[in-house]
Amino acid sequence: MPSLNDILSVILGGGQGKRLYPLTMMRSKPAVPIAGKYRLIDIPISNCINSNIYRIAVLTQFNSVSLHKHITGTYNFDSFHTGWVQIWAAEQTMERMEWYQGTADAVRKQLVEIQSSRAKYVLILAGDHLYRMDYSKMAKYHWENEADVTVAVQPINRSDAPRFGLLKQDRTGEIVDFAEKPKDPAILDAFVSRDDADKPFLASMGIYLFNIETLVDILTLKTGGNKFDDFGYDIIPHCVENAPRVFGYEFDGYWRDIGTIRSFYEANIDLTSQKPQFDIYDPDQRIYTHARFLPGSRLADCRLDKVLIAEGCQINNATIDHSVVGLRSIIKSGCYIKDSVLMGADYYDSSGTIPIQIGENCHIEGAIVDKNVRMAQDVTIKPFPRGTEIETDAYTVKDGIVVIPKKTILPSGTYIGPEG
């Protein structure tokens, strides 16, 4: 059987992340902080390391400086290790001047590097999903079925089916048909793949394992003069119709696409529950990130319930409920924080009229406060009705959730919330 050393993992991290704006105003989507101390890119890289896959390339393009700093400062194997985590940035060459045009086009433009790695298999991953998966099990399934392409699929119910690309699987596990976000009930009925009344459908997770020859052949193929640019819309449907053996690897664990402000907010808030769907405390499947060597958090006269607090925080006489408090957060006396995600700070800074902090007597509810925000005293932030969309210089409202962008300054007495 082939070895895991034959696998190259390619993580797609170059998208603009428009739906996560303003969190992506100054950073790429995989660089967005999550769970108080990590970044989204830490999830797929940690999954690779925990699966004993040590050759990892991250494809970057938009707002990539923060992501580059994080990766180069975090993932460095020792001199006696054959593994590496490399950044493959979008680049212009004498042959091509345009940037990445889609997920498949990004991989196509790095085919020289991929082939130079001498990998026999290429694992394609997204940089903005929250989940734990042992990719070695998927690889074993791929090899046992002598597949050309294996797609990770997740069982879903009928109400969720129109939001995903659906795959029709026969009893051997082979994929025989594909439909992108079908709405027609007749098409849905034709895509039932499981004898499960609750979750009869299989959705693509955006995780693909290719034999290198198959990947190269498809990415260099031209149809009607246009190259395939996207895996979900172009490559996988083509593979289902034309590749000899395309299989679906069923994964029934927790998996979430962190593609919108709502999904990002809910995924973070869920981590504060006693039994979160995504367990960050699993000692056998660690999440790796940048080692910051911060002191433990100091709390005095606080009332806390269901709160996830990162290191380096200083919190005094505050009431915090059902919230995430990120690195180096300074929360002053009299604050009330509920159902909120505070990302903390990149550094301590008490200079200026308003330091990087949550000032005295602030009321924050149903909000996301990005890093390095300077908030004076008596600031009030309340959620808007679901579906509300507002954009101002000081804040953005997405689906009712108030987002305070990075480095924003909120003067004393600021009120953000519905009128009346």
| DSSP notation for 294-309 | PPPPEEES-EEEEEEE
* DSSP conformation class of 5: G
Q: What is the largest CA-CA distance in the chain?
A: 68
Give this prediction's pTM. Answer: 0.93
> Is residue 330 located within the same domain as residue 256?
no
| Co-location of 55 and 110 in the same domain | yes
In a domain, 289, yes or no: no
Domain shared by 20 and 143, yes or no: yes
* DSSP code of residue 162: G
37 and 149 together in one domain: yes
Please report the pLDDT score of residue 99 as a whole number: 74
Same domain, 196 and 155: yes
Report mean pLDDT in 10-residue bins for the chain, 420 residues: 93 83 92 96 97 95 89 90 89 71 86 94 95 97 96 92 88 90 86 88 94 92 65 87 88 91 96 93 93 96 97 98 98 98 96 94 98 98 96 96 98 92
In a domain, 284, yes or no: no
- Residue 94: per-residue pLDDT: 65
Residue 136 included in any domain? yes
For 33, 35, 129, 262, 380, the CA distances from 265, given in Å and listed in that order, are 11, 10, 13, 5, 19
Pairing of β 396-398 and β 363-365: unpaired
Task: State the Cα–Cα distance between residues 40 and 263, nearest whole angstrom.
Answer: 13
Joined tokens for residue 186: 């007749």
Q: Which one-letter DSSP state was computed for residue 383? A: P
How many beta carbons lie within 10 A of that of residue 330, not counting itself? Answer: 20
Question: Which residues lie below 8 Å from residue 163, measured CB to CB, with a gap of 6+?
Answer: 181
Report in angstroms the alpha-carbon separations of 277 from 42, 131, 141, 241, 274. Answer: 18, 9, 25, 36, 10
Please tell me the distance from the alpha carbon of residue 168 to that of residue 201, in angstroms, as a whole number: 8
Yes or no: say if 338 and 322 are a contact pair by the CB < 8 Å rule: yes
Count of Cβ atoms closer than 10 Å to residue 76 Cβ: 11
For residue 126, being part of any structural domain is answered with yes
CATH of the domain at 258: 3.90.550.10
> Would residue 283 count as lying in a domain?
no
Query: How many residues are given for the chain?
Result: 420
Listed residues 251, 270, 289: the one ending a domain: 270
Q: Which residues make beta-bridge pairs with 204?
A: 153
What six digits make up the tokens of 154? 């997740």
238 with 334, same domain: the answer is no
The single-letter DSSP state of residue 174 is B
Helical H segments across 151-200, by residue range: 185-190
Q: Do the bridges between strand 33-34 and strand 7-13 make them parallel or antiparallel, or are there none, so unpaired?
A: unpaired
| The pLDDT value given to residue 186 | 87
Q: 310 with 264, same domain?
A: no
Q: Print burial letters for 385-395: b (CB count within 10 Å at least 16), e (below 16).
A: eeeeeeeeeeb
Q: What is the CATH number of the domain that holds 383?
A: 2.160.10.10
193 touches 202 (CB < 8 A): yes
Cβ–Cβ < 8 Å for 306, 321: yes
- pLDDT number for residue 195: 85
What pLDDT does residue 224 have? Answer: 42
Q: Which long-range contacts (CB under 8 A, 24 or more apart) does 72-78 make?
A: 73/290, 74/42, 74/288, 74/289, 74/290, 74/291, 75/45, 75/288
d(CA 87, CA 67): 9
Residue 51 lies in a domain: yes
- In single-letter form, the type of residue at position 411 comes to P
Residue type, 148: D
324 within domain boundaries: yes
What's the rounded Cα separation, in Å, for the pair 215 and 218? 5
DSSP notation for 35-90: TTTEETTHHHHHHHHHTT--EEEEEE-TT-HHHHHHHHHH----TT---EEEEEE-
Q: Which two tokens stand for residue 4?
A: 């895991």
Query: Does 373 share its domain with 317?
Result: yes
- Of 231, 250, 270, which one is at a domain's C-terminal end? 270
Domain assignment of residue 99, given as a range? 4-270
- Count how many Cα atoms sit within 13 Å of the Cα of residue 284 in the half-sphere of its side chain: 2
Whether 394 maps to a domain, the answer reads yes
Considering the domain architecture, whether residues 127 and 264 belong to the same structural domain is answered as yes
How many distinct structural domains can be found in the chain?
A: 2
Same domain, 351 and 411: yes
